[in-house]
Amino acid sequence: MTSNQAHHNYVAEGRTVGFFTDPTVCIGCKACEVACKEWNEVPEDGLIWTGHSYDNSGSLGGATWRHVKFRETENPVGWTFLSDVCKHCEHAGCLEACPTGAIFRTEVSSVYVQDDVCNGCGYCIVGCPFGVIDRRPQPLPGAGGAFKCTFCYDRQIDGLTPACAKACPTESIQFGPLDELHARADKRVAELHARGVADARIYNPVDTSVGGIHAFFLLLGPPEEFGLPPRPEVPTVYLRGAWLSAAMTSVLALAGACLAFALL
Amino acid sequence: MPGLGTSFGRGGATTAPSDLVNSEAILIMGSNMAENHPVGFQWVIEARERGAHVIHVDPRFSRTSAMATIWAPLRAGSDVLFLGGLINYVLDRGKEFREYVVHYTNASAILPVDVQDSEELGGLFSGWDAKSAKYDPNTWSFQRSPAADRKPPSDATQNPGGHTKESGARAADLADYDRDPTLEHPRCVYQVLKRHFARYTPDMVEQYCGVPKERFLEIAEAYCSASGSEKTGAICYAVGWTQHSTGVQIIRSAAILQLLLGNIGRPGGGILALRGHASIQGSTDIPTLFDILPGYLAMPKFGPDSSTLAAYINRYRDRTGWWSNFDKYIVSLLKAYYGDAATRENDWGFGWLPRVTGDHSHQAYWLDMMDGKVEGLFVMGQNPAVAAPNARLERKALAMLKWLVVRDMVEVETASFWYDSPEVERGELRTEEIGTEVFLLPAAGHAEKDGCFTNTQRLLQWHEKAVDPPGDARSETWFMYHLGTRLKEKAERDPGPRNAGLNALTWDYSVTGVQREPRVEEILQEINGYTGPDRTPVGGFGELKADGSTACGCWIYSGVFPRLGENRAGERHSRSAYGHGWGFAWPADRRVLYNRASARPDGSPWSERKKLVWWDALSREWTGLDTPDFTKTKPPDYQPPHDAEGDAGLAGDKPFIMHPDGVGWIWVPDGLADGPLPTHYEPLESPIANPLYPAQQINPAALKMERPDNQYARSPDPRFPYVMTTYRLTEHHTAGGMSRTLPHLAELQPEFFCEISPELAAERDIESGGWLTIMTMRGIVEARALVTPRMRPLRIDGKTVHQVGVPYHWGSRGLVTGDSANDLLAISEEPNVRIMEAKGLLCDVLPGRRPRGAAALDLWRTHMSHSS
Amino acid sequence: MFTQLLDGWPLAQQILHGRDGTGLEARSARTRALSPKNHGAEFARSVCPYCAVGCGQLVYHRDGKLVSIEGDAESPVSRGRLCPKGSNSFELLTHAGRQTRIKYRKPYSTRWETLDLEDAMDMIADRMWDTRERTFVEERDGQSLMQTTAMAHLGGATLDNEENYLIKKLFAAGLGMVCISNQARI
């Protein structure tokens, strides 16, 4: 039984888990999108044909937690599929921005939004460098609240695999302990390089303020070509500088005001 | 299915998707496996990761092509030319698996002088009767078949019906014929084959299929090298092959290729017919089809052959090979149907079965319906208003019925034609003038009933009932059972000869629960077969008898319920690489058919690497990784005594046990309506003349069923310059009743779109993301325009041929709606199975939307009337 | 009780354990009680109703209602996986557009009406009998014919083997209907 199907104990063990997504075996079927919505009771969020390849989901959002990207190329003709998801960052912008404690880090180090605590303020939305989390619009159930991938926390509590990984027909999405996935991914990249797929690389921005992502990807080209930021930053990395500026400004403003009084 | 049946003996996939991991090369053609069998495709990916070539040949670059190691574009309808090119490649370069070919196929059989090939007769085989437009199949037999043993002429020509030929049962008795094992005799099948495919060169393939020569040679080398004792190759196909006027012959081409390469019956080899619906294999095995009875027995055809049971058995029973047991199967079936009322004196009730008098298939009776000859119709779990060819005619024909009963989980277009259809919108039908009485009965879903499906690998899997169906929804079992009790009550009051069958019908299933649902396991037990007054289950078809002591609803399923309480379709403990212990595969849980061929004539495996089934000299029986598809104790060196019958008439090195001669048929001497060998014909509508045979454009035996409401374009036709193909998407399912009605699937592909190349878009001034209108001789639809380089114009005989891709899921009901692509297709019939040609027809494409209402038809008629 | 209050109060947890409010201490009562919806539910072993691969499905149910459907990891056919359609099987069975009542349309009518199930069954049996009575042919030229072509049937590829068996048995062997077809031929 592959790791995507086996029962586990990661929550009890407090083991950090991840997703490794490999587009070289992805068939673009969107089972991940549907399995996620079915399990998590995420509503349909738009019967809209985009005309962009076979991608009518558009982007991740409050009611789309898995999104398969389609990339067509010419000369030679090619088609690549990549299932996008919340990155469950090592340093998560949404978590740092949340003022209510709705967002917290679980035993398996995933980032979870508690819908019963969330007040819909939206600070998390601007905090995410990947554009993942979003408020659900009216008239969807839960409208106003911020939603994103839960890493199927409820399933993991019972030792089950997240719905998307379990469904994936070709195990393009692999679920398991993060360190094991890293080892598998490195091996996969080496294999692909040996086969002549020189473009293959891992997308896991560890040397940014995000500090690495727990749902990481193998890419067949630079991240921008797959709609991913090459150097994502957590906005709170600018906090110290911002406070310092604010402090400086207030000191200077105070000094200026005093001076103005003194000169009167 | 007769393509596989006549070639090997049974009409079904010879292997399972999971066996593909053992292939060195996989050819996927006439299939978009990644999109339409995604979970089955995991095995292809695994094979690829182990180093296998994955070759995809298709008019479109689809999600399957994206995962292939080699892709080639193909002109829709030129598959025989391409496959013939591969056969030519094998023969030309001596790449066949010689020992396998000599021992396990009829390549060595010698044909008589008067048998002529299509290469000699400008596109026809000998035996063509122009007046009846049919072949006399007796002209294709081998030299020196004993005249005394010759069976009566196969009446395939008199009463068309193709599914029984799965069995090869209707072959003339061909156990004894002249052979040349050196394969050098000028009239042996091998040499005839060489001459037949001599013109199918790589240049020909490039010129008329649109496959660049280098690409073709790359494919040929990759695929044909996966052959011999250490390597095998598999072929996967789906309706991209079957939905052609030459569909059966396309499959035959693949069968010949696989026999030449020695791939049948071996791990990683075989032909995987990828069927489309949950139990479509089951619905041919236990058929809701007109021309066969369960287990591929023939429906009796009106005529002297069916005047008595003895005449009927004489017609179909083979002297040698497994079909020598034919009488046991028909008698047991009659006992299952008619029980105690069936006695030897009344021919076991054989006379109560209806006789077939012509073509009673969907296409044919629907045309009769259109002409007012059909009063009543049941439609269960099918949606012809969207999914059947010439859907406009389909819908209009429904208006001619007196009564219609539709059973489905949602209100499908077939049930709402009378108020919500393009015909009503266009004023062709007016609701107040439609006299059809319509019943729409809600149906139970799969988790709301017990029962079993048979999947594409012949595996019966039981599904358990979890909850009751909601409201008035009921299973088809419930519906049929309670309808049957009502009708039997009426018959009881009127015991005349016409009701003899109905009165005799065994119908004593017990019911359970508030809803009085029949116990489905009892039906499966009847299908399995039983004996004696207390209905003791039989262990398998080997226990069936012709003396009326056994009953069996479907002999090929026998063994699925071998003891009370043992429902093997419900087994859930896989214990072998081939999944034994999980479900029950027919026949007799053999997972890879013809697996005797995985061993040499002497019984040892061809190689350690490719061992599957082999002879154990110590225990004197066949053993291995699969259930042997062979008599367990027959030694490899067994030679039948002269005049031996049945299975005993086949030697120990003859793997194809359903055939009277025990070998795979490269040349099919009997059983097909359109030729003993495949040859290239153009589709019924084509942009070019047939490059091989100027005098024979299309399959001579195909039926166009041409009439004012079912017309064809010329070949070529300036009004319709583009080649159109239809297909499915992963996100939807067939006519959309199970996907367009569901929010989570509807949002994945909300609109009907059409795929065209940038070149065609430029030629017709069509914007990607905009709209376009498609027209054929049958109808007019509009779709969103998806312009993509995945659609490629092809160079065919020096000119550009554009292809247009049209998914067919949409209709007027559901959360997402759209025009139906089937409005564009013609009703036609391939001569063996009566399937329509849904790929490779001619169309025109215009920018923008079509007009609303009747104006759409005006535009369409104007277009058709343009002069050439 | 006081300790319970402290345990359940994220702020208290933060102060007591020196956390920053981004970890487990931030869990609401609901989150702390989180459990998958199929926890402790029974399951039926089923098979996907869509294509012919025949993926294994586990159908979770409780108190006569469906809870969720997912792949069966033990199936050697599918190894627990499902495509987007198979993954949507729960919605297939529970969506709002599902028919649960009979719809009946009288000849020439412009609207649907409702009908009782048993009445519908009686009416259908009557229609069949009536059509058959007028069109059944017992023999031709002294030979057994035993058929009617005035009634037809379409359907089968989505149905169970047992259902197809009863259809052919009743319609053909019992009633003499020869016009029987399904997608398989198509």
pLDDT, tens only, C70-96: 999 999 999 999 999 999 999 999 999
B749 touches chain A (CB under 8 A): yes
Q: Give chain B positions within 8 Å (CB) of C106.
A: 437
- The pLDDT score that the predictor gives to residue B150 is 47
User: What's the rounded Cα separation, in Å, for the pair B757 and B788?
Assistant: 5
Residue B165 — very low, low, confident or very high, per pLDDT cuts 50/70/90? very low
- The pLDDT score that the predictor gives to residue B155 is 46
- Could you tell me what percentage of chain C is helix, strand and coil, using 3-state DSSP and rounding each to the nearest 5? 35, 25, 40
Mean pLDDT across chain B: 94
A187 touches chain B (CB under 8 A): no
Q: Which of A 66-105 lie inside 8 A of C, CB atoms?
A: 95-96, 101-105
A194 touches chain B (CB under 8 A): no
Q: Is B63–A77 a contact, with Cβ atoms under 8 angstroms apart?
A: no
Contact criterion met (CB below 8 Å) for B578 and B608: no
pLDDT, tens only, A155-178: 999 999 999 999 999 999 999 999
pLDDT, tens only, B500-535: 999 999 999 999 999 999 999 999 999 999 999 999
Residue C5 — very low, low, confident or very high, per pLDDT cuts 50/70/90? confident
Contact criterion met (CB below 8 Å) for B112 and B127: no
Cα of first residue to Cα of last residue in chain C, in angstroms, is: 70
- The CA radius of gyration of chain C, in Å to the nearest whole number, is 28
User: What's the rounded Cα separation, in Å, for the pair B269 and B263?
Assistant: 5
Average pLDDT for B434-452:
98
B421, amino acid identity: S
| Res. B154: pLDDT tops 50 | no
Cis previous bond, A139, omega within 30: yes
- The pLDDT score that the predictor gives to residue B252 is 98
- The pLDDT score that the predictor gives to residue B735 is 96
| Res. B152: pLDDT tops 70 | no
- The pLDDT score that the predictor gives to residue B670 is 87
- The pLDDT score that the predictor gives to residue B145 is 54
- The pLDDT score that the predictor gives to residue B166 is 36
Cis previous bond, B146, omega within 30: no
Instruction: List, in order, residues 6 or more apart from B379 with CB less than 8 Å away.
Output: B404, B405, B406, B407, B408, B414, C153, C154, C155
Structure token digits, residue C40: 């402790």
Reported as type and span, the H/E element at residue B790 is: none
- Count of CA atoms in the C-beta half-sphere (13 A) of B732: 28
- φ/ψ region of B2 (left if φ > 0, alpha if ψ in -120 to 50, else beta) reads alpha
pLDDT, tens only, B809-847: 999 999 999 999 999 999 999 999 999 999 999 999 999
CA C186 to mean position of chain CA atoms: 24
Distance from CA of C134 to the nearest CA of B (A): 11
Average pLDDT for B445-455:
98
User: What's the rounded Cα separation, in Å, for the pair B749 and B815?
Assistant: 11
In chain B, the largest separation of any two C-alpha atoms, in whole Å, equals: 80
- The CA radius of gyration of chain A, in Å to the nearest whole number, is 21
| Phi, psi at B334, each rounded to 5° | -60, -35
Pairing of strands A173-177, A17-21: antiparallel
User: What's the rounded Cα separation, in Å, for the pair B399 and B417?
Assistant: 8
Of B45, B751, B789, the CB nearest to A49: B751
Structure token digits, residue A51: 């005309």
Structure token digits, residue C103: 């719809």
| Res. B247: pLDDT tops 80 | yes
Q: Subunits with at least 3 CB pairs below 8 A relative to chain A?
A: B, C
pLDDT, tens only, B107-117: 999 999 989 99
- Count of CA atoms in the C-beta half-sphere (13 A) of B251: 37
Residue with tokens 């114009």: B793
pLDDT, tens only, B18-63: 999 999 999 999 999 999 999 999 999 999 999 999 999 999 999 9
- φ/ψ region of B829 (left if φ > 0, alpha if ψ in -120 to 50, else beta) reads beta
- The pLDDT score that the predictor gives to residue B167 is 38
CA B141 to mean position of chain CA atoms: 25
| Res. C133: pLDDT tops 80 | yes
Cα of first residue to Cα of last residue in chain B, in angstroms, is: 39
- The pLDDT score that the predictor gives to residue B109 is 96
Average pLDDT for A72-101:
96
Q: Give chain A positions within 8 Å (CB) of B748.
A: 30, 33-34, 56-57
CA C21 to mean position of chain CA atoms: 45
Residue C185 — very low, low, confident or very high, per pLDDT cuts 50/70/90? low
Distances (CA, A) of C90 to B411, B448, C26, C65, C96: 19, 12, 33, 11, 12
Structure token digits, residue B301: 């055809």
User: What's the rounded Cα separation, in Å, for the pair B95 and B224?
Assistant: 7
B81 bridge partner residues? none
A119 touches chain C (CB under 8 A): no
Percentage with pLDDT > 70 across chain B: 96
C128, amino acid identity: M
Average pLDDT for B314-329:
91
What sign results for the dihedral spanned by CA atoms B532, B534, B538, B541?
positive
- Helices vs. strands in chain B: H and E counts, helices first: 25, 30
Contact criterion met (CB below 8 Å) for A133 and A120: no
Residue with tokens 């002069």: B867
| Res. B329: pLDDT tops 60 | yes
Among A138-142, A195-199, B138-142, name the one with the lowest average pLDDT. Answer: B138-142
- Count of CA atoms in the C-beta half-sphere (13 A) of B692: 30
Structure token digits, residue B718: 């300036």
| Res. A233: pLDDT tops 90 | yes
DSSP three-state, residue B491? helix
| Res. B162: pLDDT tops 50 | no
SS (H, E, C) C22-36: CCHHHCCHHHHCCCC
| Phi, psi at B384, each rounded to 5° | -65, -20
User: What's the rounded Cα separation, in Å, for the pair B440 and B442?
Assistant: 7
What sign results for the dihedral spanned by CA atoms B228, B233, B234, B235?
negative
- The pLDDT score that the predictor gives to residue B842 is 98
Selection from B97, B813, B74, B684 nearest residue B418 by Cα: B813
User: What's the rounded Cα separation, in Å, for the pair B158 and B160?
Assistant: 6
Residue B146 — very low, low, confident or very high, per pLDDT cuts 50/70/90? low
Adjacency order of strands within the sheet including A215-219: A173-177, A17-21, A215-219, A201-203
Average pLDDT for A115-130:
96
Residue B163 — very low, low, confident or very high, per pLDDT cuts 50/70/90? low
Mean pLDDT across chain A: 96
- The pLDDT score that the predictor gives to residue B169 is 38
DSSP code of residue C75: -
Cβ atoms within 10 Å of C74's Cβ, excluding its own: 17
- The pLDDT score that the predictor gives to residue B183 is 97
| Res. B766: pLDDT tops 70 | yes
Best probe of the C interface among B244, B375, B460, by most C CBs < 10 A, is: B375
Question: Could you tell me how many residues make up chain A?
Answer: 264
Average pLDDT for A68-76:
95
B393, amino acid identity: L
| Res. A231: pLDDT tops 90 | yes
Reported as type and span, the H/E element at residue A225 is: none
pLDDT, tens only, B641-700: 988 889 999 999 999 999 999 999 999 998 899 999 999 999 999 999 999 999 999 999
Q: Is B36–C185 a contact, with Cβ atoms under 8 angstroms apart?
A: no
- The pLDDT score that the predictor gives to residue B148 is 39
Q: Subunits with at least 3 CB pairs below 8 A relative to chain B?
A: A, C
- The pLDDT score that the predictor gives to residue B161 is 38
Cis previous bond, B497, omega within 30: no
- The pLDDT score that the predictor gives to residue B749 is 98
| Phi, psi at A230, each rounded to 5° | -65, -35
User: What's the rounded Cα separation, in Å, for the pair C51 and B502?
Assistant: 35
Of A35, A157, A163, the CB nearest to C35: A157
Pairing of strands B780-787, B437-442: unpaired
Q: Is A47–B747 a contact, with Cβ atoms under 8 angstroms apart?
A: yes
| Res. B868: pLDDT tops 80 | no
Distance from CA of C11 to the nearest CA of A (A): 10
Selection from B190, B222, B250 nearest residue B71 by Cα: B222
Contact criterion met (CB below 8 Å) for B171 and B153: no
Contact criterion met (CB below 8 Å) for B63 and B670: no
Residue with tokens 């063996």: B832
Instruction: List, in order, residues 6 or more apart from B785 with CB less than 8 Å away.
Output: A51, B753, B754, B756, B761, B766, B767, B768, B769, B770, B771, B772, B847
User: What's the rounded Cα separation, in Å, for the pair B754 and B770?
Assistant: 10
Q: Give chain B positions within 8 Å (CB) of A30.
A: 730-731, 748
Q: Give chain C positions within 8 Å (CB) of A154.
A: 34-37
User: What's the rounded Cα separation, in Å, for the pair B332 and B548?
Assistant: 7
Q: Is C93–B448 a contact, with Cβ atoms under 8 angstroms apart?
A: yes
pLDDT, tens only, A175-228: 999 999 999 999 999 999 999 999 999 999 999 999 999 999 999 999 999 999
Contact criterion met (CB below 8 Å) for B137 and B168: no
DSSP code of residue B851: P
